Each structure stands twice: as structure tokens, then as C-alpha cells.
């Protein structure tokens, strides 16, 4: 099970480290290794969130996320994204931006760093919306009941999460953005515009995917018992091929496509702090792409592992811990517009929150006499992924 799930990650790690050692020697090998660990520590909560969404999708779209999605994550966000940011902020052509990244790394790093307020505002508000929508939603299981119960009651007010996010953005633009870090000066307008763009992106992509998901569920309810029987037969056939029942009847078509886009935007938002933080270690774009890419592979493998093992069903507070970690990351991103916060602190906050939620889940299972992982709840992604 372990080798099947993490096999590709192990192989990419060996090849990546060998390539780093061959191109840049022992120093390059160490830098790539450190970047990989940095990415894993910062994005662990991302795997939990991804797993919660991925298990809703059918086998085909799970494969798309784990193949095409990893290409977007590694090459798009870790290699192309910083160059695009430089091209836009410095008003350069694509070739000029690439040339700058290769031949004037110090200036390239300076330009990417100067774009941090816009990046942090976009990603911070997007992630904050994920956290707020989770917090304001009524749920069967409550981890921190003293917080979640009153928040769920407040969540009955329409658009409350949007209102809170806009208030946070307004406060951010009037405080930390007025004197951004690294001598960037007043970035209030930039932060306000980027934050609104992050909010709009969340509402559009999340809203469309939610619309098609609800529509699909309504159609399934209308189909009746005949289609239910047909779905069960398809599920049994898929189980024989190594695909889970949940995956076989999961989201498909337009619903899955927009859910895939939603996942990619989430992944992009999570990767912002990793890309910016990587400049504290190196300004070589290829070292960054290689190290962060290896880390991203492990996050994808961990996502598969959580889906296959049915971990989120067995440990019901894990999603709570991951969403609280998202909320913390969102606030940290906004604070870093003015103040520098170590990536170690960012990573530890996420790991601690998820660890505490896991221990709470274990304690709950013991109180209720449930095993840690029931065979019946196991879900598997299509074999060979």
C-alpha cells in the first residue's frame, strides 16, 4: 500500500536529488532537499483539504488531478508562476522575464519579492473564504464546539463569510499595507484590488462547481431506484477493477471539471508562501522548481493515501484541523505584507493543528468503541495512479 501510493514520489525524489547533485554538487543537493521539506511542511494541510474534495470525484477526474494537476502544480506554480509575476509587475515580455530569471537572479528575486503584497492579498483572501465557509456551516461533528456552535448559528446570515472577508481586507489595506515590507511603501490600493480579485475568484470557481454538484445530486434523486440499482452495479464492477465505490459514482462532467479548477486554485493559493519563502534559501528558479516540485509530489501522494484509506471518515476532526490551519495561513499571508514571519512558524502551526485534530479524533473513536480504520470505509483511487 505504501509503495503503491508513494512509489512515484520516491522515484522522483531519487531522480531529483541525483539531478541536483549532478548539476550543482553537494550544495545544490542540500538546497533541493531543504526546499522539498519546506514544501511538505507548509502544504500538509493542503493534502487533507484536497482529499476531502477529491473523494467526491469519479475515478477519471481523480486521475486528471493526480496527473495533469501535478504538472500544473510543479511546472505552473513552482516554475512559470514566479516568471509571470515578474513579467507583469516589471512590465516585461515573457522572453525578457525568463532572461532576467536566468542571468540576473538578484534583480529577479527583488521583483518577485516586491510583488508579494499582491500575491499575499489574493491568496490570503481566497484561503480565508475557504476557512470562513467551513466555520459558518452547520456540521454533524464539531471539534471546538465552543467556537463552531455559535459560528454555525451566525452562518445562517446570507453572505456572512463575504462580509467578514471584505472587512478583513479593508482593515489589512488600511494597516499593514500602508507600509509594506522591504521598503515597498504604501500598497493599499494594490492589496485592496488583489484581495477583491481573490474573493471574486473564489466565488466564481467555487460557486460554479457547487452549482453543478448540486444539480448532479438533484438529478440523481430524480432518477429513482432504477438508476440506484444501475449505479450499484457500476460500483461493484469498478470495485473489481480496484476503484472505490465512492469514486465510481462520484462527480463527473462539468461538475468535476469545475471542482478540478477549484482544487487547482486552492493548490495555487497554498503554494504562494512556499514560492516566496523559497527565496530565503535560493534564487535559482530551477533549484526552486525541483525542490518544491518534489515536495508537491509527496503532497499529491498523501492526498491519494488519505482517500484510499478513508482517513477523513475514520478521523472526523482532521478536516477541522486542516481548515483551522488554512485560516491561520490566510491571516499569516496578510500579516506578511508588512512583517516577515518565518516559514518554520507557518509550517508548525499547520502541523500542530492537524496533529491535535487527529488526536481528538482518536480519542473520540475510543470513547465510541470504533476502530481506527474500518475496512468498509476504505476508498481507493483507480489503481495505477
- CA–CA dist 199, 187 (Å, integer): 18
**C-alpha cell read off for 65:** 488531478
Q: Which of the four pLDDT bands, split at 50, 70 and 90, describes residue 39? A: confident
Higher per-residue pLDDT: 173 or 81: 173
Question: Which pLDDT score is estimated for 161?
Answer: 92
Question: Which pLDDT score is estimated for 238?
Answer: 46
What's the burial of 115, exposed, middle or buried (CB within 10 Å: 0-12/13-18/19+)?
buried
Higher per-residue pLDDT: 172 or 209: 172
* Contacts (Cβ under 8 Å, ≥6 apart) of 105: 283, 284, 285
368: three-class secondary structure by DSSP: coil
Residues in the chain, total: 385
Q: 277, 83 in Cβ contact below 8 A?
A: no
- CA–CA dist 114, 183 (Å, integer): 9
Q: 191, 172 in Cβ contact below 8 A?
A: yes
378 pLDDT above the threshold of 70: no
- CA–CA dist 379, 310 (Å, integer): 5
- CA–CA dist 169, 163 (Å, integer): 10
Question: Which pLDDT score is estimated for 250?
Answer: 60
357 pLDDT above the threshold of 70: yes
383: three-class secondary structure by DSSP: coil
162 pLDDT above the threshold of 70: yes
Question: Which pLDDT score is estimated for 266?
Answer: 76
Average pLDDT, the chain: 78
pTM of the model: 0.74
Range among 163-177, 212-226, 304-318 with highest mean pLDDT value: 163-177
Lowest mean pLDDT across 10-24, 139-153, 245-259, 370-384: 370-384
The DSSP secondary structure of 95-107, one letter per residue, reads HHHHHHHHH-HHH
Question: Which pLDDT score is estimated for 200?
Answer: 92
199 pLDDT above the threshold of 90: yes
Question: Which pLDDT score is estimated for 243?
Answer: 41
Tell me the CA end-to-end span of the chain in Å, nearest whole number.
Answer: 12
- CA–CA dist 103, 88 (Å, integer): 18
When pLDDT is averaged across residues 350-379 and rounded to a whole number, the result is 74
Question: Which pLDDT score is estimated for 82?
Answer: 76
Lowest mean pLDDT across 2-16, 161-175, 202-216, 338-352: 202-216
At 257-306, the pLDDT tens digits run 877 887 787 777 767 666 766 766 777 878 888 888 888 888 888 888 88
What's the burial of 377, exposed, middle or buried (CB within 10 Å: 0-12/13-18/19+)?
middle
Q: Which of the four pLDDT bands, split at 50, 70 and 90, describes residue 169? A: very high
The residue assigned the cell 504604501 is 186
Question: Which pLDDT score is estimated for 119?
Answer: 83
At 212-270, the pLDDT tens digits run 666 666 665 665 444 444 544 544 444 444 444 444 446 667 777 877 887 787 777 76
- CA–CA dist 133, 55 (Å, integer): 19
5 pLDDT above the threshold of 80: no
At 121-131, the pLDDT tens digits run 988 898 899 89
Residue 2 burial (CB count, 10 A): 9
When pLDDT is averaged across residues 108-137 and rounded to a whole number, the result is 86
Residue closest to 350 by CA, chosen among 47, 145, 33: 47
Question: Which pLDDT score is estimated for 173?
Answer: 92
Alpha helix locations (H) across the chain?
Answer: 2-54, 59-71, 81-89, 94-103, 105-114, 116-135, 145-154, 160-174, 188-223, 225-240, 245-248, 253-278, 285-308, 311-314, 318-335, 343-367
Question: Which pLDDT score is estimated for 221?
Answer: 61
Question: Which pLDDT score is estimated for 301?
Answer: 83
101 pLDDT above the threshold of 70: yes
- CA–CA dist 95, 151 (Å, integer): 49
- CA–CA dist 300, 298 (Å, integer): 5
When pLDDT is averaged across residues 350-355 and rounded to a whole number, the result is 86
When pLDDT is averaged across residues 366-380 and rounded to a whole number, the result is 57
Amino acid at each position: 500500500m505504501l509503495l503503491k501510493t508513494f512509489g512515484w514520489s520516491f522515484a522522483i525524489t531519487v531522480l531529483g536529488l541525483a539531478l541536483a547533485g549532478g548539476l550543482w554538487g553537494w550544495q545544490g543537493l542540500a538546497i533541493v532537499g531543504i526546499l522539498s521539506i519546506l514544501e511538505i511542511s507548509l502544504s500538509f494541510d493542503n493534502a487533507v483539504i484536497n482529499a476531502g474534495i477529491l473523494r467526491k470525484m469519479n475515478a477519471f477526474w481523480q486521475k486528471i488531478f493526480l496527473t495533469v494537476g501535478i504538472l500544473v502544480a510543479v511546472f505552473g506554480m513552482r516554475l512559470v508562476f514566479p516568471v509571470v509575476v515578474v513579467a507583469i509587475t516589471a512590465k516585461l515580455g515573457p522572453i525578457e522575464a525568463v532572461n532576467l530569471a536566468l542571468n540576473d537572479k538578484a534583480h529577479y528575486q527583488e521583483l518577485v519579492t516586491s510583488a508579494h503584497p499582491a500575491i499575499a492579498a489574493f491568496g490570503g483572501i481566497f484561503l480565508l473564504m475557504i476557512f470562513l465557509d467551513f466555520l459558518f456551516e452547520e456540521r454533524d461533528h464539531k471539534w471546538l464546539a465552543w467556537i463552531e456552535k455559535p459560528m454555525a448559528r451566525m452562518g445562517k446570515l446570507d453572505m456572512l463569510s463575504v462580509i467578514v472577508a471584505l472587512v478583513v481586507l479593508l482593515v489589512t489595506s488600511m494597516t499593514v499595507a500602508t507600509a509594506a515590507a522591504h521598503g515597498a511603501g504604501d500598497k493599499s490600493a494594490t492589496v485592496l484590488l488583489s484581495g477583491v480579485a481573490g474573493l471574486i475568484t473564489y466565488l466564481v470557481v467555487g460557486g460554479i462547481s457547487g452549482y453543478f454538484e448540486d444539480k448532479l445530486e438533484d438529478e440523481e434523486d430524480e432518477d429513482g431506484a432504477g438508476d440506484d440499482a444501475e449505479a450499484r452495479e457500476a460500483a461493484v464492477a469498478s470495485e473489481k477493477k480496484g476503484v472505490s465505490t465512492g469514486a465510481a459514482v462520484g462527480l463527473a462532467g462539468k461538475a468535476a471539471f469545475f471542482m478540478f479548477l477549484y482544487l487547482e486554485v486552492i493548490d495555487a493559493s497554498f503554494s504562494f508562501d512556499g514560492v516566496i519563502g523559497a527565496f530565503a534559501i535560493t534564487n535559482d528558479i530551477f533549484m526552486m522548481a525541483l525542490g518544491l516540485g518534489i515536495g508537491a509530489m509527496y503532497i499529491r501522494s498523501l492526498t491519494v493515501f488519505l482517500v484510499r484509506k478513508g482517513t477523513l471518515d475514520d478521523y472526523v476532526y482532521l478536516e477541522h484541523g486542516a481548515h483551522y490551519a488554512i485560516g491561520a495561513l490566510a491571516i499569516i499571508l496578510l500579516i506578511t505584507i508588512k512583517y516577515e514571519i518565518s516559514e518554520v512558524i507557518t509550517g508548525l502551526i499547520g502541523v500542530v493543528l492537524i496533529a491535535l485534530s487527529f488526536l481528538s479524533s482518536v480519542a473520540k473513536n475510543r470513547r465510541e468503541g470504533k476502530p481506527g480504520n474500518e475496512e468498509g470505509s476504505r476508498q481507493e483511487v483507480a489503481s495505477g495512479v
